[in-house]
Amino acid sequence: MSRRQLVAVLAAACALPVSFSVCAEKAWPQKPIKLIVPYPAGAVSDFLGRQAANVMSQELGQPVVVENKPGAGTNIGSENVAKAAPDGYTLLLASTTNSVNMTLFPKMTYDTLKDLAPVSILANVPNWLVVNTNFPAKNVSELIAYAKQKPGEVAYASAGPGSPAHLAAEQFNRMAGVKLRNIAYKGASPAITDVMAGHVPVMFTNYAAVRGAVDAGRVRVLATGGATRWPSMPNVPTVAESGVAGYEAGAWYGLMAPAGTPPEIIAKINRALAGLRSPAMEESFRKQGAELVLSTPDEMKQKIQAEIPYFAKLIKDAGITIE
């Protein structure tokens, strides 16, 4: 068989539905890939998305272009991907918020589990419990004791209803047996500003958002919401070891594709993300308060499936609604 005949046979085979997935993997990608980041530029989510895009570009041999599409609590960008062609050329930087929104928003235009296909988790980003430097509590135990003396009087700042920081605080309320009062802001920056100024004494947030305030001595870190102490801050305890057993709060970030994307393409993207594994990249992630954590698509699916009912109960118990 001549080379020309072989090419013709392969082309004919790829035209058959039964061979589509195999041929899709071999042919894909043939053009630039778009990664939708449903957050503003400059946030830790944006950093994670761009690092993933850079590595995928190198591993896949095609540009992966990041497009920031914030709005409606990540729903605008997420819907854009959920309704895109399932050909591997449109991806989403998904997060814990995609699990939360299934309950938080009463009228969703897409279903996280039905309309999006997991690819891999990229990172875990723990929340940190910080207070204004003039606040009397010097540790978690003192915060709990102080809050119990003044139920409903001690306020915390959050980046908006249903945000990871808001849910971290409500989880703390329930597990610590206190009643901190939520003051919602439109984003983390104005919330941190008011904590620094002492207008609101307490906040849960990711390290990248509060790092400048910590370095400037404007806020005091009481604990990390992660499962273990942070490597660069070994003297800061976890909330769990500070008297709230079992407490862990933060957010994961990862990649998802439109449902129906050929599994071979998803597997190829998953393999490409392995290029993130290096000491230099892990340190780069840690500087942003993120822990590099790669997963299989099934592991990511199982995590989302477990989270949706957990957050549904937390949201309902706390009476969290979107105005």
Which band of pLDDT confidence, cut at 50, 70 and 90, is reported for residue 271?
very high
CA dist 204 and 198 (Å) reads 15
The CA–CA distances, whole Å, from 196 to 167, 173, 193, 205 equal 21, 22, 5, 13
The pair of structure tokens assigned to 170 is 């409500």
Which band of pLDDT confidence, cut at 50, 70 and 90, is reported for residue 10?
very low
The pair of structure tokens assigned to 48 is 């994670």
The pair of structure tokens assigned to 259 is 């449902």
Query: Comparing C-alpha atoms, which of 126, 154, 184, 120 is closest to residue 319?
Result: 184
Question: Is the sign of the CA dihedral 114, 115, 121, 124 positive or negative?
Answer: negative
Confidence at residue 187, expressed as pLDDT on a 0 to 100 scale? 86
pLDDT at 201 over 80: yes
**Domains of the chain with CATH codes:** 27-124+250-318 (3.40.190.150), 126-242 (3.40.190.10)
pLDDT, averaged across the chain? 92
Strands 181-184, 155-158: pairing kind: parallel
pLDDT at 14 over 60: no
Confidence at residue 26, expressed as pLDDT on a 0 to 100 scale? 66
Could you report the per-residue pLDDT of 91-148, keeping only the tens digit for each? 999 999 999 999 999 899 999 999 999 999 999 999 999 999 999 999 999 999 999 9
Which band of pLDDT confidence, cut at 50, 70 and 90, is reported for residue 16?
low
Quick check: 47 and 208 in contact, CB under 8 A?
A: yes
Confidence at residue 5, expressed as pLDDT on a 0 to 100 scale? 44
Could you report the per-residue pLDDT of 21-61, keeping only the tens digit for each? 555 556 999 999 999 999 999 889 999 999 999 999 999 99
Verdict on whether the full-model pTM lies above 0.85? yes
Confidence at residue 24, expressed as pLDDT on a 0 to 100 scale? 52
Which band of pLDDT confidence, cut at 50, 70 and 90, is reported for residue 278?
very high
Confidence at residue 322, expressed as pLDDT on a 0 to 100 scale? 86
Q: What is the mean pLDDT of residues 217-240?
A: 95
End-to-end CA distance of the chain: 68
The pair of structure tokens assigned to 296 is 């299989």
pLDDT at 255 over 90: yes
Q: What is the mean pLDDT of residues 157-168?
A: 93
Buried-exposed string 249-263: b where 16+ CB fall within 10 A, e elsewhere? bbbbbbbbbbbebbe
Which stretches within 150-262 are classed as H helix? Answer: 164-176, 188-197, 207-215
